[in-house]
Amino acid sequence: MKYYLSLLLLLTSANLFAEVKTLRVDYYHTGDHQTEIFSLDQIVVEPLSWPGSSSQTIDNLNRGKYRFIVKDKKSGKVLFTRSYSSIYGEWETTREARKIKRTYHESLRFPMPDGEVIIEIEKRDHEFKFANVWRTEIDPNHYLNHREGAKYASQVIAIEHNGSSEDKVDLLILGDGYTASELGKFEETARAMTEALFATSPFKERRKDFNVWALAPIMSESGVSRPSTETYHDSPLGVRYDAFGSERYVLTMDNSNFRRIASSVPYDFVEILVNNETSGGGGIYGLYSTAAANSDWADYLFIHEFGHHFAGLADEYYTSPVAYSTPDNIIEPYEPNVTALLPGSKLKWRSMVEDGTAIPTHWPKAVYEKNSLAYQKVRKEIRAANKPESVMNKLFSEVQITSDLLFSKAKNANVVGAFEGANYSAKGYYRSQMNCIMFTRTTDFCKVCQQGIVDMIDLYSSK
């Protein structure tokens, strides 16, 4: 109870400090692999003040598949921009999108403007350049706009508070699948995950730039759904395994409920801890990330998936099966940590490469691929037989030991260069270093990923 009381005092003082409310535009995103339609659902005035910086309203990083722009209707002045990715943006590349149309619920959040504004959504085209795909006008002061209440404010735990939300990155750790008797377990895990994150560079060096909150809406039964094992739970956030048919991909498609729950907390980014031991997670830039809270690999899952969600980092692995496809044509990715190394183009992290480093950079690729493909076969067999998670954890450990040993003996183990194999592709895409937490289950981000994270911290906090 002491945490809840202190949080209410913090939220009250935060609202007194910042007068600008948070406005949310909820909309429906419908289509298939060829068509795309946006339609307005509702305008929501969230209960808490805008948690972001009042001075850093323009996104100069532009890392996602989409970008939204808020313009003053009268003057045309750009008031706010943010890039982001979405579940729809991934789904449209799946096989299912070639057969049927689907609708996903999505949201845009920004500081509430004084008068009417124009909202524009842009999407990357076949050359990854932003092009307009939707435009709508809204009145933030319209009497029919929904006013949301902070329904869960009394249940929020202040894990770490380092200052005003306007000057800090506000991270919300949500829990899904926890009963009332498991709330202590959730808080303990949330605190442990916070410590794991801030033990990892560059989060370690920038810890004071973050506030961390935690909230787990109570459910009547423990756990979340895992349909591939015929396990189903009607959890508050609706998180489930097997997203897009991938057994380890953990997402919630219930954006409306997710936003309603999260709006009780000042947040910029969200990680959802699922009350399950099966290794799995997911991370979508600017939306949320997820991690299996009870897994032996929970620290890795939390940090790796947060890398996707927070900094827009690409996966650097390429031997694991994924639910969606990569582009048919190889062009320069928009993520900061992978490159296509196209002829005539400058390496995006060239400032970190020492003179004399060979580009592309040699690494024991053939040996790694042989080991990794054998591991993927065993992993698939373990899941198909629904063996205990301890069997899978043993495999993960053995594979990581083998990889670490292989890399430690390699000539360019600590070199920044261009190592072929990244972005789910064995050929045509390159990562900056031989190993990284975005590549294997190691413990450190590579130097390029670290810089990508620092840039995002700077965008959301006062430097």
Give residue limits of the domains in the chain. 20-147, 153-315, 338-456
At 200 the pLDDT is 98
At 327 the pLDDT is 62
pLDDT digits (tens, 9 = 90+) for 11-25: 544 444 458 999 999
Could you tell me whether strands 117-124 and 419-422 are parallel, antiparallel, or unpaired per DSSP bridges? unpaired
DSSP-based three-state secondary structure for 446:
coil
Average the pLDDT over 3-11 and give the result: 49
Whether the per-residue pLDDT at 87 is higher than 80: the answer is: yes
Give the residues across from 40 on adjacent strands.
27
| 60 in Cβ contact with 82 (< 8 Å) | no
CATH number of 20-147: 2.60.40.3250
Average the pLDDT over 27-56 and give the result: 96
Superfamily of domain 153-315: Collagenase (Catalytic Domain) (3.40.390.10)
SS (H, E, C) 242-270: CHHHCCCECEECCHHHHHHHHCCCCCCEE
In this prediction, what percent of the chain has a pLDDT beyond 70? Answer: 94
Whether the per-residue pLDDT at 355 is higher than 90: the answer is: yes
This prediction has a pTM of 0.95
pLDDT digits (tens, 9 = 90+) for 252-279: 999 999 999 999 999 999 999 999 999 9
Whether the per-residue pLDDT at 443 is higher than 80: the answer is: yes
Amino acid at 35: T
Sheet holding 36-49, edge to edge: 102-111, 21-31, 36-49, 146-147
At 2 the pLDDT is 42
Whether the per-residue pLDDT at 323 is higher than 70: the answer is: no
| 212 in Cβ contact with 197 (< 8 Å) | no
DSSP state of 275: S
Confidence of residue 3 (pLDDT cuts 50, 70, 90): very low
Instruction: Considering only CA atoms, give the Rg of the chain.
Output: 22
- Could you tell me what percentage of the chain is helix, strand and coil, using 3-state DSSP and rounding each to the nearest 5? 30, 25, 45
pLDDT digits (tens, 9 = 90+) for 291-311: 999 999 999 999 999 999 999
In this prediction, what percent of the chain has a pLDDT beyond 90? Answer: 92
Confidence of residue 89 (pLDDT cuts 50, 70, 90): very high
Whether the per-residue pLDDT at 326 is higher than 90: the answer is: no
Average the pLDDT over 65-93 and give the result: 98
At 19 the pLDDT is 83
Amino acid at 376: Q
At 329 the pLDDT is 77
